């Protein structure tokens, strides 16, 4: 017997066909690609520039990152409410807020009344009730929010923080979009290593968007994630990086779109509740990377709008930096 190892055969002697029938022919591959495009649905969210650059759509997984106070929850909430207003069925999962707290945030956005003012007017035995004009705006906001009853469902932290609770809420009613705030709270009541739980949650939520959790169900999934709290000394003006995300290795691998939010520092003496907010697109499978989404965020009412009047990136996003910051899947 020949002592030399027998070379591995790629073809069967009987059929002269490849042993593995799972490898697709080019013709089948492009047909599968066309089918994926045909079944995808765009989800308008009232942010034209974001829609043009990043394409919110079914079968995609987004991660929005930010440090505390960078409006990541506010942007997620605006995306969810705007999608519901555009007749898309939406699930919003907050692993920190109760259902009532989410409702008050929505009513502040729709009415334009600042949240502290709403609290002052609604507290028992209030000495500062709504004015006639405020009452009209409040009634309008309530009617508008109530009108979303057939389109939006809310999952507060009282309904469970485990990833299985989140996935179950989504799959039962097959929403068009699922928004989760935030990854760091998943499994908070469970034992185990936090980063391992975070990685597992990212992987399952990405799987939810790909139809791996329920047959023929592929929603748009958007989650928020903390960025590392501290920058190194002297790096206060450094641009965000993928490595700033907690659990960045898993997020970089699984996310279709990854955006790092960063509010701009105000000049001394500026007490306006409105902030300029930049969204650095660090990864984008659906369009150009190394772009900046430009927002205006009202911290008092929770309203976040695009800055249509300024299409150019901020000054601190230089042409030299841009190609290095983006990752095109």
Contact 124, 66 (CB under 8 A): no
22, with CB counted inside 10 A (0-12, 13-18, 19+), is exposed
Residue 104: per-residue pLDDT: 95
CA distance 174 to 85: 18
Give the chain's domain count.
1
Separation in Å, CA 80 to CA 110, 117, 121, 193: 13, 24, 27, 30
CA distance 322 to 325: 5
Contact 249, 195 (CB under 8 A): no
Separation in Å, CA 197 to CA 135, 176, 232, 255, 312: 45, 26, 26, 17, 39
Q: For residue 131, tell me if it sits in a domain.
A: yes
Q: Which helix (H) or strand (E) holds 63?
A: strand 60-66
Q: For residue 14, tell me if it sits in a domain.
A: no
Q: For residue 164, tell me if it sits in a domain.
A: yes
**CA nearest to 300, candidates 274, 263, 268, 271:** 274
Q: For residue 34, tell me if it sits in a domain.
A: no
Separation in Å, CA 89 to CA 46, 83, 194: 15, 8, 31
Q: What percent of the chain is predicted at pLDDT more than 90? A: 53
Q: For residue 276, tell me if it sits in a domain.
A: yes
Q: Report, as ranges of residue numbers, the positions in the chain whose pLDDT lies below 70.
A: 1-22, 37-38, 187-194, 229-237, 289-290, 308-329
pTM as predicted: 0.83
Residue 190: per-residue pLDDT: 55
CA distance 168 to 174: 10
Q: Where in the sequence is the domain holding 57, given as residue range(s)?
A: 39-325
Residue 234: per-residue pLDDT: 60
Residue 288: per-residue pLDDT: 76
Q: Residue 165: which CATH number? A: 3.40.50.300
Residue 170: per-residue pLDDT: 92
Contact 304, 79 (CB under 8 A): no
pLDDT tens readout for residues 26-37:
878 777 777 776
Residue 18 gets which letter from DSSP? B
């Amino acid at each position: 017997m020949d002592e030399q190892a027998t070379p591995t055969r790629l073809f069967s002697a009987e059929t002269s066909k490849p042993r593995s029938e799972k490898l697709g022919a080019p013709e089948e591959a492009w047909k599968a690609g066309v089918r994926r495009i045909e079944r995808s649905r765009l989800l308008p969210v009232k942010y034209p520039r974001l829609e043009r650059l990043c394409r919110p759509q079914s079968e995609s997984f987004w991660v929005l990152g930010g440090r505390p106070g960078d409006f990541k929850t506010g942007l997620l909430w605006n995306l969810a409410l705007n999608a519901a207003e555009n007749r898309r069925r939406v699930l919003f999962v907050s692993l920190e807020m109760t259902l009532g707290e989410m409702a008050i945030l929505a009513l502040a956005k729709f009415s334009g009344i600042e949240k502290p003012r709403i609290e002052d007017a609604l507290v028992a035995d209030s000495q500062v009730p709504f004015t006639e004009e405020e009452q009209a705006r409040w009634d309008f906001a309530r009617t508008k929010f109530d009108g979303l009853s057939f389109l939006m469902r809310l999952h507060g932290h009282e309904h469970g923080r485990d990833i299985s609770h989140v996935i179950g809420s989504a799959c039962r009613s097959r929403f068009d979009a699922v928004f989760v705030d935030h990854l760091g709270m998943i499994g908070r009541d469970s034992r185990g290593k936090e980063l391992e739980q975070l990685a597992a949650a990212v992987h399952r939520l990405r799987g939810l968007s790909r139809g791996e959790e329920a047959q023929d169900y592929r929603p748009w999934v958007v989650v928020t994630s903390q960025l590392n709290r501290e920058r190194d000394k002297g790096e206060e003006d450094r641009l965000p990086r993928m490595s700033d995300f907690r659990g960045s290795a898993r997020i970089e691998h699984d996310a279709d779109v990854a955006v790092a939010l960063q509010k701009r520092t105000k000049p001394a003496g500026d007490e306006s509740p409105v902030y300029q907010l930049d969204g650095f697109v660090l990864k984008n499978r659906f369009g150009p990377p190394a772009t900046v989404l430009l927002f205006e965020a009202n911290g008092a009412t929770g309203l976040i709008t695009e800055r249509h009047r300024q299409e150019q990136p901020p000054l601190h996003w230089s042409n030299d930096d841009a190609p290095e910051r983006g990752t095109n899947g």
